[in-house]
Amino acid sequence: MSSVINVMFALALLAQVLVLPFVIPLFGIGLEHLWRGLRARSESEARRCFVVVSITWGLIIMALIASGIPVWESVL
C-alpha cells in the first residue's frame, strides 16, 4: 500500500510541476480582464471581459484539480 501512495505522490507532484507554469500567467490574464470588465463603460464590453475571466479561471481550477489536489487531501 505504501508503494501505491508513493506513486500517487510522485504523479501528483509531476502534474503540479507541469501545470503551475501555465496557471500563473492565466491568473494574471484573468485578473487583468476582471479589472478591465469592472471599469468597462458598456455592458457588452464588460460581459466580454467577464467571459475571458471565467474561461481563464475555470481552466486554472480544472488544471489544479486534475494535477492532484484531491490526491494530496485524501492521503494526508
pLDDT averaged over the chain? 80
- Residue 41's CB is within 10 A of a number of other CB atoms, namely 6
Q: How confident is the model at residue 38 (pLDDT cuts 50, 70, 90)?
A: very high
Residue 6 and residue 67: Cα distance in Å, rounded?
A: 15
Mean per-residue pLDDT, 53-74: 74
Longest dimension (CA), the chain: 58
Mean per-residue pLDDT, 48-68: 83
10 pLDDT higher than 70: yes
The whole-number pLDDT of residue 74 equals 56
Global pTM value: 0.63
